[in-house]
Amino acid sequence: MIDMTLNPNADNPAQRTPLVQGGMDFKDVSHAVCDISERKTPKIWFLCLLASLSCLGLLKTAIIYLIWEGTGIWGLNNPTYWGWAIVNFVFWVGIGHAGTLISAILFLLRQDWRTGVNRFAEAMTLMAVACAGVFPGIHIGRVWCAYWLFPVPNQMTLWPNFHSPLLWDVFAVSTYATVSLLFWYVGLIPDVATMRDRAKTKYRKIAYGVLALGWTGANKHWQRYEKAYAILAALATPLVLSVHTIVSFDFTVSNLPGWHTTIFPPYFVAGAVFSGFAMVITLMTVVRHIYKLENIITIRHLENMCKIILLTGTLVGYAYAIEFFIAWYSGVEYESYAFINRAFGQYGWAYFIMIGCNVISPQFFWFKWCRTNVIFMFVISIFVNIGMWFERFVITMTLSNDFLPSSWDYYAPTIWDISTFVGSFGLFFTLLLLFLRFLPIVAISEVKNCIPEADPHHGDHH
């Protein structure tokens, strides 16, 4: 019997109520989660899917036109060769990080509260990485030559240059996508087996039966499963830190003022975690409300994520400050100019959107009311998402003012830049909606493990 006098949000672990609230038992948990995809598809889902598919259509159109016409359709100009493609790429890769962080780092730290949100966050990672993958693929202009990025023998007997950070990216991002997929799938196996055993129709039985690989829940299997999962978490932890570090090398390894700094790797990683958690909050607050998952994804889950946003947001703010300080302290006039220009030059507006959204808005989370009010945290998370997009924009736009003043130019996006970016959200939400509809969105077996009765020594007095 759960003592309801306990406080679900207490800071002292001994005074907390269990993570699963409302007195749910094992059966209730499976039912609450599986029912989402078993009950009749709600109309709103079809409406959302229609909207997402329209956006996806926009992405397709933009890409087809790009292949037909070339990168000239974008607002690229002579100093700014990268433009929105790289901004969007870094933005989407960053979004993905929260999923891996929740599933890997919090797993290693034995943070049980992750179980309510990890499945959803991992799925979000995969979808974000899929969106990220689009941009480097299309921004190279001659899209049909994208395979040159991979070390495959070709007719010119030319090999890619492994000294190049762009090639490191290829390996980092594709490894990250693969490992995230494996991690997600391994976590899904026991839960898909639950879906299989509850399935009523023939097609569901076959589909979930095949996906579950014949999982029976035998203890020998669980033993290896848990070992594999723990090792995957241990592998994914340095991996997630390395991915954004390597993405930051794209910038750091160049000699451009404003980019050639050693702070980039930790600063990019903090920013990625920051934006990723913001996206988890944005989506999770909506999903838990629509699917009535308040007992599994509790306020405590959301509050913990707000605390992580506060931490990483403050780290990002610190990075902005130290970048400025070092630009002055180094005495390098190009470096100083790059930063003064960033804040007060032609892109100053973007710089202050970034500061407002990323540094100021998360500071509200010092207050408990802000961390526990779902609508408030939803709004802040949107600000963070916007701010983090602008952070990448601000960094990339340093290109517009390089060493040679005669080539300076102002970068403005065209309708096709905007369509591609908006369209990428279509891809993201289409995949997300399909996931919400057909797969267990909460890690059922892991949540069950957080129920006190799961412990064989529950109630024993040693």
Partner 1 sequence: MSTQEKEWGLITEFTSSKDIFHAAEKLRDEGFKKFECYTPFPIHGMDDAMGLKPTKLPWLILVCGLTGLATATGLQIITNADLYPMIIGGKPNGVGSLVAFIPVMFELSILFSAFGAVFGMIGINGLPKLYNPVFKHEAFKKVTDDGFFVVVSVDDPKYNTQKTTEFLEKIGGKDVTVIND
- Can you give the binding site for partner 1, defined by CB under 8 A? 25-27, 30, 151, 157-163, 165, 167-168, 171-172, 175, 178-179, 182-183, 185-186, 190, 193-194, 196-198, 209-210, 213-228, 231-232, 235-236, 238-239, 242, 246, 249, 445-446, 448-449, 453-459
* Spatial distance between the Cα atoms of 154 and 140, rounded to a whole number of angstroms: 18
Structure tokens at 169: 């990216």
What is the closest distance, in whole angstroms, from the C-beta atom of residue 260 to partner 1 in the complex? 14
> Would you state the torsion angle of the CA atoms of residues 389, 395, 397, 399, taken in this order, to the nearest 10 degrees?
-150
Beta carbon nearer to partner 1, 210 or 286: 210
Nearer to partner 1, 176 or 390 (CB): 176
Nearer to partner 1, 172 or 327 (CB): 172
143 versus 166: smaller Cβ distance to partner 1: 166
CB of 36 to partner 1, least distance (A): 16
Minimum Å gap between C-beta 243 and partner 1 is 9
CB nearer partner 1, residue 141 or residue 151: 151
Say which residues have a Cβ less than 8 Å from residue 430's Cβ, sequence separation at least 6.
49, 52, 53, 55, 56
Residue 275 identity (one-letter amino acid):
S
How many Å apart are CA 294 and CA 288, to the nearest integer? 6
Question: In this complex, which beta carbon is closest to partner 1, that of residue 195 or of residue 305?
Answer: 195
Shortest distance, position 234 Cβ to partner 1, whole Å: 9
Q: How far is CA 59 from CA 3, 86, 253, in A?
A: 52, 16, 31
Taking the least distance from each CB to partner 1, the nearer of 321 and 454 is: 454
- The three-point CA angle 87-90-93 to 5° equals 145
Residue 21, C-beta contacts closer than 8 angstroms, at least 6 positions apart: 8, 294, 295, 298
Question: CA-to-CA distance for 417 and 415, rounded, in angstroms?
Answer: 6
Amino acid at 325: F
Q: For residues 53 and 182, which CB has a smaller minimum distance to partner 1 in the complex? A: 182
423/57 Cα distance (integer angstroms): 7
* Least Cβ distance, residue 200 to partner 1 (angstroms): 12
Q: Are 434 and 37 in contact (CB under 8 A)?
A: no
**Nearest distance in Å: CB 182, partner 1:** 5
Distance of alpha carbon 239 from alpha carbon 233, whole angstroms:
10
Rounded Cα distance between 338 and 398, Å, is 7
Least gap, CB of 24 to partner 1 (angstroms): 11
CB of 33 to partner 1, least distance (A): 11
